Amino acid sequence: MSIRIEDLSVDRVRTLIRKGEWTGPTVELARGFAQAGLAIVPERYALSFFTFCQRNPKPCSVLDVTEIGDPTPKLLAPRADVRTDLPKYRVFSHGKLVAEPTDIRSYWRDDSVAFLLGCSLTFETTLVTAGVPIRHLEEGKEPPIYVTNVPCTRAGPFGGPLVVSMRPIPHDMATKAVQITSRYPYTHGAPVHIGDPALIGIRDLGRPDFGQAVAVRPTDVPMFWACTVTPQAVAVEAKLELLITHAPNHMFITDRRHEDFTVA
Amino acid sequence: MSIRIEDLSVDRVRTLIRKGEWTGPTVELARGFAQAGLAIVPERYALSFFTFCQRNPKPCSVLDVTEIGDPTPKLLAPRADVRTDLPKYRVFSHGKLVAEPTDIRSYWRDDSVAFLLGCSLTFETTLVTAGVPIRHLEEGKEPPIYVTNVPCTRAGPFGGPLVVSMRPIPHDMATKAVQITSRYPYTHGAPVHIGDPALIGIRDLGRPDFGQAVAVRPTDVPMFWACTVTPQAVAVEAKLELLITHAPNHMFITDRRHEDFTVA
């Protein structure tokens, strides 16, 4: 009898990732547990980046911040290490992608500060449980992601447009989808826009900037949620000498259940 | 016909405060608009203080952070100045109270960073609107505040016990009080404790550490909310060379309505 990785505990999965034995996407792993995006910046930029996140809480929900030089995410997983416990990373130097390693111990510095950011997996899980269909999951695709014409509130060197993910929701479930995601303000919360994509500067839903297009049916309403790509994009654009992020879909698995992030 | 200060607009009230013509408490002013606590620290402590707040969001809900050296709270009131627009301040040097001025321009430094913190006025207003009695308001008192034995999660030099305010709520309104305050996670949110005060290290409700005791009736449930005194207390305890806070009950009046801070 074989054991599937999907059925392993958080600790077992994290050990496999740490050893480099799992370098794939995390979406199917440790079901029930929240996952988080990652952005590591040098300490001299940390206060500004933190402020950017505070000013733009829908795309940039900070779930944990590490102490300067300490790779332990104390709130989300006190036995974890952000340098080894994600399956794949992206390393940027002055805004250019320079490496996609599976371990960043050689890039970590005494002045590194890691931000762990809320991810839409948490509310998608709850939507599916409530019977709200998620088309990209049904179609086996990555969610379609779009750059809008809505500016984020700038902080220091960090600024740029809001980036959103889109989910076509059956019109008779749109209210329910707002209600459910409103309960998760720390993982993007309620939609930032409902309806006509042109009103937020999106010309063609069929041509997303990232991810893959999904079918929007005549009885669907396009609903847009703020996306964790936003803080990553503004951090890349700020051209810091060193920036480390998670690779897309290769997230940090936390010790916290999705329900830990509800407010009501 | 005289005009009462209670009826003035936010801008008019703020102008009176800025000119030093109002130096009293703010609770009755600019009804409908959120008020905020203040903590100003030198930039070298700002990242740690911000991290402390992130780790302890119930007592320390950051509503705005100013740029280094810039006294403008861009999110809450972009035409305001935190150096002049609170009626009274407290200035601490190495943990000792050294002044209670009505204007802090002479204490403001090029490296000052101001944090504006969510205050319970927002949820109290909504509780009263919903018919939930607030005993200390009925009795014309300041709310009773207690130091608990629950430790906050430390960050850098900042650490200490959770401080809470207590409101005796009629037992048949306790559920409603949880529901209403849950909608305001940015201004303390849902109660941190309901029931027996001894379970969080409070020996005698009749002897609060700050504020004034209120009557708890046999049909009341004591309900405890995290309190903005918490971040102020840990900041004082950290004995920074310079710390500036609002004086108790002399808050910053924002341009944002209470309802702007709901999540659902």
- Output the pLDDT for position A7: 82
Rounded Cα gap, residues A230 and A56, in angstroms: 9
Enumerate the residues of chain A whose CB falls inside 8 A of the CB of residue B264.
Answer: 179, 182-183, 190, 263-264
The beta-carbon contacts of A25-31 under 8 Å, at least 24 apart in sequence, are: A25/A87, A25/A249, A25/A250, A26/A86, A26/A87, A26/A249, A26/A250, A26/A251, A26/A253, A27/A121, A27/A249, A27/A251, A29/A5, A29/A253, A30/A253, A31/A6, A31/A125
Q: Search chain B and give the residue with CA nearest A152.
A: B75
- Distance in angstroms (rounded) separating the CA atoms of residues B168 and B180: 15
Does residue A5 carry a pLDDT above 90? Answer: no
Query: CA of B261: which chain A residue's CA is closest?
Result: A185
Once rounded to an integer, what is the mean pLDDT over residues A198-208?
Answer: 97
Mean pLDDT for chain B overall: 94
Q: What is the CA radius of gyration of chain A?
A: 18
Burial of A131 (0-12, 13-18, 19+ CB in 10 A): exposed
Residues A134/A124, Cβ–Cβ less than 8 Å: yes
**pLDDT for the residue A262:** 85
Q: What confidence score (pLDDT) does residue A4 get?
A: 82
pLDDT digits (tens, 9 = 90+) for A56-80: 999 999 999 999 999 999 999 999 9
Provide the pLDDT for residue A263: 81
Distance in Å, alpha carbon of B135 to nearest chain A alpha carbon: 25
pLDDT at B140 over 80: yes
CA distances from B36 to A219, A259, B16, B63, B140 (A): 44, 29, 18, 8, 21
Q: What is the pLDDT of residues A214-242, one digit of tens each?
A: 999 999 999 999 999 999 999 999 999 99
Of A65, A74, A182, the CB nearest to B263: A182
Cα A157 off chain centre by = 21
CB–CB contact A67 B156 (8 Å)? yes
pLDDT in tens, A85-116: 999 999 999 999 999 999 999 999 999 999 99
Please say if the pLDDT value at position A1 is more than 70.
no
Average pLDDT over residues B121-147: 92
Beta bridge partners of A116: A38, A64
Residue of B nearest to A155 (CA): B67
pLDDT at B259: 87
Q: Given phi > 0 = left and psi -120 to 50 = alpha, else beta, which region is B116?
A: beta
Residue A261: what pLDDT? Answer: 87
Q: What is the mean pLDDT of residues B20-32?
A: 92
Residue of chain B nearest A264, judged by CA positions = B182
Q: What is d(CA B55, CA B152) in angstroms, rounded to the nearest whole number? A: 8
Strands B33-42 and A252-257: unpaired
Interchain proximity B264–A190, CB inside 8 Å? yes
Q: pLDDT tens digits, residue range B12-25? A: 999 999 999 999 99
Residue B62: the pLDDT is 96
Per-residue pLDDT, averaged over A173-188, amounts to 93
Predicted confidence (pLDDT) per residue in B58-96, tens digit: 999 999 999 999 999 999 999 999 999 999 999 999 999
Q: Is the pLDDT of residue B1 over 60?
A: no
A-B Cβ pairs (cutoff 8 Å, strict): 65
Give the closest-approach CA distance of A33 to chain B in angstroms: 19
* CB-CB under 8 Å, A182 with B264: yes
Is the CB of residue B92 less than 8 Å from the CB of residue B247?
no
Handedness of CA B96, B102, B105, B109 (dihedral sign): positive
Q: What is the ipTM of this complex?
A: 0.84
Band (pLDDT 50/70/90 cuts) for residue B264 is confident
The yes-or-no verdict on residue A2 having pLDDT over 70 is no
For A189, the closest of B62, B65, B263 (CB atoms) is B263
Handedness of CA A237, A60, B254, B209 (dihedral sign): negative
pLDDT of A154-171, one tens digit each?
A: 999 999 999 999 999 999
Mean pLDDT, chain A, integer: 94
